[in-house]
Structures are given as structure tokens and as C-alpha cells.
Chain A
Amino acid sequence: MSFLLSLAFKNLSRYRRRTMITAGALAVGLIFFIFMDGWLQGAERESERNIIWYESGSAKVMTSEYLDDLKTMPLKHAIENPDAVEQVLEGTGVTTTRRTVFAGEIFYGEGSLYVKVVAVDPQTDGKIYRLSETVAEGRYLEPDEQGVVLGEWLAQDLGIQVGEEITIRTRTRYGAFQTFDLIVVGVLNSPNPMINKGTAFIPLSLADELLEMEGAVTELTLYFPEWQNPESKIQSLQDRLSVLPGLTVESWKDLARDFLMIAQAKSAGSGILLVLVFIIAAVGISNTMLMAVYERVREIGMMRAMGMKDGAIRTTFLFEAGGIGLIGAVIGVGLGVVINWLMVTRGIDMTALMGQMDIGYRVTGIFYAAWHPQAIVGGFVFGVIAAMLFSIIPSSRALKMEITDCLRYE
């Protein structure tokens, strides 16, 4: 066996150019695969983060009735005793903040607009949401002030500037109409278009008073580090909360189902891309490999003529192919990881491409990739195995031929 190994190794170094070209085909295929996959992963991660950071946190606690009617945002189904909920959740490693979300109509100048108003607690909101980092003009909310922060598109639609006054009309928890005047203290431009389009933020204490909430809030946003796979965490939180009937924990995945469907549609689209990359790379690998072995049928004939056993020849070629696969996969994964690392840490700056474009919300112009270990390891293993498999076809074909035919083969 060790003889066969060293023979295979000798062959590899003897045919240096062939080895390098075949391994090169494999390496290039892998590099592109890792690059593409990392990029698509990065794009997906980024949109997920935009949901977590600006819209939903990791999960939310709401009453079941509120959840059923999420679209109409009924204040009457609020959480009566948020303190109790926070007490129950203490010690679970979960960060919480309170919010009251309701529908309102903003009046400014000649007209009016229906918006989603989110009352936040400026002191704790920043622990989960990153809205304060996205202030484009003015400043973020301060506790208890009579102020409002608007999304940028909303501000533009209303034609309103920081420092001006708007009126919001809504219904209180008991259904009575309530109007209040607020000063616009800031304008947000976040990477999440939903925030820019139709959301206004006010301090929670103000909403509490104006909407007759008496301490109740419509939701508690939770944040926990394991948000990417929230299922088990949600289950344990739900179990704990069962002491407070009527409450339910909903993960960001369920809350953002619409978005995730888009993401799925997108990944169906990008899946096509990956499949195509894979096909091209696989054809490149298989063809060079097939060619590398077919070119050596004469050599196989010679070895057989000299009395080498079929099995031994097959093993040698398998080792050789494995060696080529290994070289290619190491180079490919190595370079792929380096490129991916650059794309994760530095990103690809596409400002030059995007510079002139106004798509309405903040695009940094720099795209970041993400790590996707499964794809990297999978690519490596696939590369080595594919190289070995593709060598079997031509070598066993040559072994079936008459020795004399092998020797005469061109």
C-alpha cells in the first residue's frame, strides 16, 4: 500500500503541469462557490439584522388577542402588568423593553396620513433597538418630552422639518378620540424601509398618559443572543410565562413572516445562481479530471503489461485523484476563506456603483459577506470526493481494454 501511495505521489510531482491545471480547475470552482455563497449569506444576514435591530427584536411578548389582530393594533388588548412579566423573565438572560404600538393619523398642513405610532421607552429601548444610531437630522427622543421622531420618507411626504409641530389623532384605549400636538425633534433614516415609510416614535410615558393606558403596554420586546435559532428559547420562555395566562411569546421569525417569505423568494432566486455556479464548477472539475486520466491510457497499458494488478492500478489512480483533489481543495478553500474573510471584515465597496442612486433608504454602499461553515466544509469534501469519483470512470475503462489496445491508444 505504501508503495502505491508513493507511486501516486511520484506521479503527481512528475506530471506537475497536469496536476496544477486539474487542481487549479477545482480550486477556482471552490473559490467561486465560497465567494458567491458567502455573499448571498451576508445579504440575507443583513436583512435579518435590519428586522431585529429596527422592527422586532428577538421576540415579543403580547396578549394572544393582540397577536390575532396585529394589523389593527387594538389597544384594548394590552398587557396589563408588564412589571409582572419582567419579573417572571428575570434571570433568563433576556433583555426587555416596553413598547405601545397604535394606529394614528398625523395632521400637518392641508392633509393627513395614517401611520403606525410606536411609543418607546427612551431609557431602555436602546438596549435592543438601534434607532438612535440612525438619526439623520435633529436628535433622538428624550424621556417624557412632548416630541416625536419620524421616518425620513414620512417626513418628506408630509413636507415637515425638524422643530415644526404636528398633530396626531388616535383613539384611546377606551375608544375615545384623542388629539395631541408634538414637536418633531428628529428624523430617522434607517436601513429598514418600513421604519422610514410610515412610523412615528413618541416617548412611552406620554403615550401612557394620553391613551389612558395606566401602565399597560401592548408589547414587550425581548432580546437574546441566540436569536438565529430562537425556537427552543421561545419554548422555555413560553413555559415560564404560563403563570400569566393570556400572554404569548412570538419570535421575530413569526412576526416577520412576510419578510421571510421575501427572503425565501430571494433565496430561490439566488439558489438558481448557486446551482449554476455549482454546475459550471463541477463540469470544469470533471472534464479536466477525465481528460487527465484518459491521456494516460497508454501508461496504464504499460503498467499492466509489466504485471501490475488491476486493483493496484485502480488504487494508484484513486490516490492520485485524491491528491489532486486535496491540493485543489486546500488551495480553493484557503483562497476562498481569505477572500471571504476580506469580504466579512472589509466588505466590498460598491459606492461607486450605487453613488448616484437614490433608492430612498440608507444603503451604505458596502456589502458584507457572512461565514457559512457548512458550505466551506461541504465544498472541501465535495471537491476531494468529486475528483476521486471522476477518475474512476476513465481508469476502469482502460482496465477493461486489451493490454495491446491500451498501449496503442491515443
Chain B
Amino acid sequence: MTTEQLIQNYIANRLSEADKAKVDHLLETDSAFKNEFEAHKDMAVAFKISEAESLKKRFQELDKGPKQQKLKISSYLYLAVASMVILGFFYTFYSSPSSDQLYASYFDISPNTYQPVTRTADSTKNNAAFVAYENGNFTIAENEFETLLETTNNPNLLYYYASSLLNQSKFDLALKQFEILNQIDFDYTDESLWYTALIYVKNEDYDNAKAQLKRLNAKNSTFKTKERKALFEDL
């Protein structure tokens, strides 16, 4: 093995223990070897830095990619649909315009951030439920989540079950599920408290709505900070 190969193999971590010891010894005793080693290492590190920078840029581009844009557009669409549904309720049930309008102006569909629907392997089990959810087929999503919840206690799935109910304006049923979730600490605790608050707003139970918002404040939650503040002031 030439000196150059020895150095490369050392850096690539593919030397035997004996050869590693040999390099360590040379580094302490042979200044010419040490210089060559340092020069090689500088090149390796320089490439690592440069590669890391370009990967970081690539990831940032990916995050801005069309997928996210699509999600943004569909969120607006959901918001528009939800607003229309809520307005429909207003005319049908003569409920207070202020609570309905308030609800409609703050409500948006909770996006699926739990499980990407195009993934492979172990994630396929829950796929049908999340595919339906992402496509806005909340009745199908409700049934699929219900089936899944027969065999698991996963609170994240229960959260999306509750969201499927809420997105169909099944407020009381959704509230029941959110209240169960609010007893525990899980990945979507903040979201669950937020939607509970909105349902209370819808039901004109402003004290309970405020209580949920206060719970979020007490947790120093960073979820929907601006909206929470604005809603609290509106109540």
C-alpha cells in the first residue's frame, strides 16, 4: 500500500486495527507523513463542506417544490368550501352569525402531516385512510380511520378520525374525540386543543373556547400563535 492509499483508506475507515495503529504512530512521528495526511484531510473536509452546502440548497428547493404549492392551493380551496358549508348552516339553523363567522374565518382543514400517502413498506397499512383524507373524501376517511382504530390506540390516527368528522361538520362527534385526545400528550395535542376551541366558538361556548386557548398559551405552543391571539381578542 502506498502512503497515499494508506491515508485514503484511513480516512475512509477501511483499515484493519493494525494498519490504523500504524497511521496513528506515523502521525506522531513522521512530519512529512503528517503534512501529506493533513493535505488529504483538508481536501476531504472541503468537499464535505461544499457538498453539504449544495445539498442544503437542494433540500430547500424541494421544500418549496410543487407539492407544497399544491397543498397551499388545496388549503385555500378547503377553506372556501368550509366557509360555504358554515354559511349554509347559518341560514338553515338560524344560529348566531358572529359565532359562525368567527368559526369560518379561523377554521382550516388540518393537513395530513402524519403520513405521506405515496410511501412504501410499513406505511401502506394506513394509506387508504390518509389518501381519502388528502383527497377531501372525509366520509370514506372517517370509515377507514374507524376500522384502523378497532385494532390500535394510536392517538395520531384518532386525531385524524376526529378531523375527518369535523371536516364533515359533525361538530358534536368531533368534539367528543378531541376531548378524549385532550386528556393525553401526543404529537397533535396543540392542534387538538385548537380545533376544540373552534368547536366551542361554533357552539357559542366562549368560556370553554378561551379555556382551550389558555391551555395552549400555558404550553408555550408555537402552533398558530397569531391566530390564537387574534381569536382570543375576538371572543
Asked if chains A and B come from one complex, the reply is no
